[in-house]
Structure 1
Amino acid sequence: MNQSAKQHSILQKILALVLGFGPGIFAIGYTIGTGSVTSMIVAGSTYGMQLLWVLLLSCFFSGILMFTYGNYALISGETALFAFKKHLKWGKLIAILIIIGISFGQWNSLMGILGISANIIFELLLLYFPQLEGYQYEGVLAIAILIIGIMYALLLVGKYSFFEKILVIFVSIMGLSFLVSLFMVYPQPKEVLEGLLPSIPQMEGGKMMVAAFVGTTMAAATFLSRPLFVKGKGWTISHLKQQKKDAIIAACLVFVISGAVMAVASGALFHQGEPVTKVLDMANTLEPVAGKFALSLFFFGTLSAGLSSIFPCLLIAPILLADYQSGELDTGSKQFKVITAIACLFALIVPVFGANPIEMQILSQVFNVFVLPLVILGILLLVNNKNLMKGFSTSLLINIGLIAALFFSLLISFKGIVALVDHF
């Protein structure tokens, strides 16, 4: 076999591996968006690697919850909210509260994501075409309308496999961009190890950032949507091992990619005493340290994070409603098209008014925390119902993990309330 044939074979294997990724790709799309990237950049530049332990715990619990929700769907054949409504006392009320809470958080996040993504494209254009300066509002608004228009057109294609392939592309670009940036700018190994020891920054915004971290990494939307995506993939009870592997890989990738973003911000900016409050502040602070190429690469990764999140954020409200109504998602229905169209218009609020989306992003991540305890308690009750689990028992380790996740979410919810009271 000649050299070019070998290289072609290796490329084919890599491509097959990437395209073979399962519903976990949606977990990464939901979890790592510009909200997550914003939180990681602000935390890394302000507190160094001090909050790495929060990220690690959140990803660990996320892996357990993805696995548990996926397993329940494959064994029982039911989706999450449909099962809450059908089997739990007060289940209908719990399901409605979850739908309202998650949709509110995700649509707020969507405004910020679109605003930041449009701003990033404009900033990238400014790097190479400085004559565009002075046309920021018009340029950003035009870019935002173009992005959301393309995303809506892609949604109307309405096939699970198509959504999955689009997300695979965005997530792959995002992951590679951030990891390559990490090799150019990185923190000291000692700081990374110290970041694994639990501590909360004793300065303004520290508690808020902890809650935002959990809200963005332990995203309730990720777990609730998993049963529908597992079913959309065509998996059945024979795919239990595959589902477990998919959940573990997704949780690990979320930790690696998010940690890389925090590490780049920490390595480049923390020791210079230049905390970042906006993703776009990176333009002025990262370029002297890493150069125009690294800056473009990091922006490209952040843009891919935004684009990979717009898709799932547009999908979330119709997914939750379909789950509640029947447990089946019909992407060709009038309900799906109308709700996603309203979400697209809602997303344009920040670009139309020229508002700064950063604070909205971090606040929306904090609000996401408050739905988490209900989401964890619901699945804990379902997977321990022997009739629903058809002879499959939930292991002691998974139960301990779910109970620990529940207490963690309650603690962080309390911290989030305290942080919001202090903020306002």
Structure 2
Amino acid sequence: MERIASSKSFFKKLLAVILAFGPGIFAIGYTIGTGSVTSMIVAGSTYGMQLLWVLLLSCFFSGILMYVYGNYALLTGETALYAFKKHLKYGKVIAILIIIGISFGQWNSLMGILGISSNIIFEIIHIYFPVVGDYQYEVVLTIALVVIAIMYGLLMVGKYTFFEKILVVFVTIMAFSFLISLFMVYPLPIDVAKGLVPSIPKVEGGKMMVAAFVGTTMAAATFLSRPLFVQGKGWTIKNLKQQKKDAIIAACLVFFISATIMAVACGALFYQGQSVTKVLDMVGVLEPVAGKFALTLFFFGTLSAGLSSIFPCVLIAPILVADYQSGKLDTTSRQFKIITLFACLFALIVPIFGANPIEMQILSQVFNVFVLPLVIIGIILLINNKKMKSKHKTSSFINLSLFCALFFSCIISYNGILALINF
């Protein structure tokens, strides 16, 4: 009886810790979706652990940017795009360019996410009902319609706390699924160490993969939306320490989960000489290596990653528009409902035309890097203006980190342009 009571107490404590997670859960939802899973699996299966250094740098800079954007919101009460428009000389132009760029990137990503998630659900159904294999297009499209309709229905609930709880469930399932898979298939320690030494794969698609990595782990949408999610959480200037802790935990979890996915792909696919080109390849190759249990876990992990990303991707456009207009998000407004409906319809493009969601997903991640320098420049200018300095002086470490992040993002954006030209 004592053992049962202690185990119940442990699970209650674990549940309390998970549910206490703040706006950082949205950072994980934005960052680790099927875009990230796809990029990590393709990279791990094709290049092993060679790009681990890119992931580490991206997550470090992401943590800094989440912290700075969150702090600015708590210290000033202003959100990102509203502050750009209010305080910067060309703030309106910068804000509008950011809205267009991020919405385009996230909606393109949404198409791939829905396509991959629908294909994964189809494969699960196909295992138990082989007869559906003759009607793949029709079944995948029907699944996509049902999934996006359910997600839109949940969005109509219109409460931050409700969105947060759903994301907590998806992200937790995803993290545990990939972690357990890692115990079954894992890379050599020497390959993990080598992966921390900067190098770019000198093969076709290497530059695009680096850009996709940064596009998915240093997602501009994550930083810009953070002030509104901090507001939604009800945090004030009294929660500065909590906000900092939340940003650090979110960045660490993004690195840990993403590195785990890459490591599983490296251990299961790279050493076997297998590469990923289709949705089924991402999980099907695992079965002979790790067995049906690992295959099922990977199915659920990837599916949870996809479902956890649909919410934030659909939310991003109304969030940015509301941010620009007033700095307040009204999830019950007609504007919110119309924009989210359009995003849901846009997401159906890949399932309707039967396009390869893997290619669309990686391309969409590359597009995300082009807005990133603007987002970093904007916050550097905001935290270093005279009004802000009189209230709160930014440390030299944060400023140096932001300029390093800007330099890094410019190099990756240039790399992304070269990759798209070659593509």
Q: TM-score, normalised by structure 2?
A: 0.99
Match of 2:157 in 1: 157
Match of 2:67 in 1: 67
Q: Deviations over 1:279-312 (max 9, x none)?
A: 3213431110011110110011000000000000
Give the distance between the partners of 2:399 and 2:284, measured in 1 at CA: 48
Residues 1:394 and 2:394 are matched in the alignment: yes
SS where residue 263 of structure 1 aligns? helix
Q: Deviations over 1:163-211 (max 9, x none)?
A: 0000000000000001110111000011000000000000000000000
Q: Which runs of 5 or more residues in structure 2 are unaligned?
A: none
Give the distance between the partners of 2:321 and 2:388, measured in 1 at CA: 22
SS where residue 274 of structure 1 aligns? coil
The one-letter amino acid of 2:232's match is G
Q: How does 1:206-221 map to 2 (within 5 A)?
A: 206-221=206-221
Residues 1:235 and 2:227 are matched in the alignment: no
Match of 1:88 in 2: 88
Task: Give the superposition deviation at 1:133.
Answer: 1.3
Match of 1:42 in 2: 42
Give the distance between the partners of 2:213 and 2:361, measured in 1 at CA: 12
Give the distance between the partners of 2:283 and 2:7, measured in 1 at CA: 36
Q: Structure 2 vs 1, CA of residues 389 and 340 (structure 1 numbering), >3 Å: closer, same or farther?
A: farther
Match of 2:307 in 1: 307
SS where residue 271 of structure 2 aligns? helix
The one-letter amino acid of 1:372's match is L
Contact 1:216–1:365 under 8 Å retained in 2: yes
The one-letter amino acid of 1:52's match is L
The one-letter amino acid of 1:143's match is I
Give the distance between the partners of 1:201 and 1:126, measured in 2 at CA: 36
The one-letter amino acid of 2:114's match is L
The one-letter amino acid of 1:188's match is L
Between stretches 414-423 and 381-390, larger displacement belongs to 381-390
Contact 1:31–1:216 under 8 Å retained in 2: yes
Q: Deviations over 1:380-410 (max 9, x none)?
A: 1111124135521110000010000000000
Contact 1:386–1:393 under 8 Å retained in 2: no
The one-letter amino acid of 1:183's match is F
Residues 1:375 and 2:375 are matched in the alignment: yes
SS where residue 133 of structure 1 aligns? helix
Contact 1:228–1:328 under 8 Å retained in 2: yes
Contact 2:35–2:361 under 8 Å retained in 1: yes
The one-letter amino acid of 1:334's match is R
Between stretches 347-356 and 165-174, larger displacement belongs to 347-356
Task: Give the superposition deviation at 1:4.
Answer: 1.6
The one-letter amino acid of 1:68's match is V
Match of 2:320 in 1: 320
Match of 1:99 in 2: 99
SS where residue 404 of structure 1 aligns? helix
Q: How does 1:231-380 map to 2 (within 5 A)?
A: 231-380=231-380
Contact 2:119–2:279 under 8 Å retained in 1: no
Contact 1:111–1:348 under 8 Å retained in 2: yes
Contact 2:120–2:299 under 8 Å retained in 1: yes
Give the distance between the partners of 1:30 and 1:282, measured in 2 at CA: 21
Q: Deviations over 1:114-162 (max 9, x none)?
A: 0100000011111222222111111111111110011000000000000
Give the distance between the partners of 2:65 and 2:185, measured in 1 at CA: 33
Match of 2:140 in 1: 140
RMSD of Structure 2 on Structure 1 (CA): 0.9
Q: How many residue pairs get matched?
A: 423
Task: Give the superposition deviation at 1:220.
Answer: 0.1
Contact 1:82–1:325 under 8 Å retained in 2: yes
Task: Give the superposition deviation at 1:278.
Answer: 2.8
Residues 1:418 and 2:415 are matched in the alignment: no
Give the distance between the partners of 1:155 and 1:284, measured in 2 at CA: 33
Give the distance between the partners of 1:32 and 1:334, measured in 2 at CA: 29
> Once superposed, which parts of structure 1, at least 4 consecutive aligned residues long, lie more than 4 Å away?
none
Contact 1:42–1:278 under 8 Å retained in 2: no
Contact 1:205–1:419 under 8 Å retained in 2: yes
Give the distance between the partners of 1:279 and 1:205, measured in 2 at CA: 18
Match of 2:52 in 1: 52
Q: Structure 2 vs 1, CA of residues 14 and 100 (structure 1 numbering), >3 Å: closer, same or farther?
A: same
Give the distance between the partners of 1:54 and 1:171, measured in 2 at CA: 23
Give the distance between the partners of 2:309 and 2:134, measured in 1 at CA: 29
Contact 1:39–1:362 under 8 Å retained in 2: yes
Match of 1:195 in 2: 195
SS where residue 300 of structure 2 aligns? helix
Between stretches 135-144 and 77-86, larger displacement belongs to 135-144
Between stretches 383-392 and 241-250, larger displacement belongs to 383-392
Between stretches 343-352 and 382-391, larger displacement belongs to 382-391
